[in-house]
Amino acid sequence: MRNFNSSEPAMKNAPMVFVVDDDEVVCRAVASLLRSAGYNVKEFSDPNEMLAHPSARVAGCLVLDVRLQGYSGFDLQHRLSESGNNPPIIFITGHGDIPMSVRAMKAGAANFLTKPFRSQDLIDAVQEAIAVHESYLEKQRAVDSLRKRFECLTPRERQVMGGVVKGSLNKQIASDLDVSEITVKLHRANMMRKMHASTIADLVRAGYHLELS
């Protein structure tokens, strides 16, 4: 775990953290804490202002008070989810209880901290949430890349790939498609080249991620 150092400046390419809390003192304190830990931070007292911000879709993490004036943190979580924007959310509250924390976690929150919390607990929660989210995004980018390659295949090449992923031999695929085994081998070679698959194992993994099996 990274240790908190109050003198550490925010880095230019550090993850962006949004802090939303209508208590100005708490909002500034949390933002200052996270900046000192090396994060780029934007603070908001109004959730609608946060939603309208141009950087809303690139936020690496959101630290959100459960109870805002005229607004619920859960409502904001729901709106973000509906818009397809799902940054990891760390809920903070001075009125936390077990049902509330369970609700937050079931809705996809990364963590739930009750005020007053230790500075290091928040630093650790943000660090972990961003790491998990970045890992998820990396996997999504890899799947998107596979999907684009798959879309470049001809209909017949997709059929052959489906057969290979299921574990069928060339002669079985040829029989299923009513073509010659040589034709299957040609489609298979073209398909593996387009999918950037060096081995059958690579292809099976790609098929798994594309949910072909």
Per-residue pLDDT reduced to its tens digit, 66-121: 888 777 888 888 888 888 888 899 999 887 677 777 778 877 888 989 888 899 99
What's the whole-number average pLDDT of the chain? 87
Over range 34-51, report the average pLDDT: 92
pLDDT at 8: 44
Helices (H) and strands (E) in the chain, counts: 9, 7
pLDDT at 11: 55
Decide: 119 and 4 in contact? Cβ < 8 Å: yes
pLDDT at 58: 83
Residue 7 predicted with pLDDT over 70: no
Helix axes 73-82, 98-106, angle to 10 degrees: 10
Residue 132 predicted with pLDDT over 60: yes
Type and span of the H or E element at 41 = strand 40-44
pLDDT at 205: 93
pLDDT at 44: 92
Q: Give the separation between CA 178 and CA 120, rounded to whole angstroms.
A: 64
Higher pLDDT, 10 or 212: 212
Type and span of the H or E element at 201 = helix 200-209
Residue 210 predicted with pLDDT over 80: yes
Among the residue ranges 6-10, 31-35, 98-102, 192-196, the one predicted with the least confidence is 6-10
Q: What are the chain's domains?
A: 16-141 (3.40.50.2300), 152-209 (1.10.10.10)
pLDDT at 152: 96
Residue 188 predicted with pLDDT over 90: yes
- Per-residue pLDDT tens over the stretch 165-186: 999 999 999 999 999 999 999 9
pTM for this entry = 0.74
Contacts of 184 (CB under 8 A, 6+ apart): 160, 170, 173, 174, 177
Residue type, 146: L
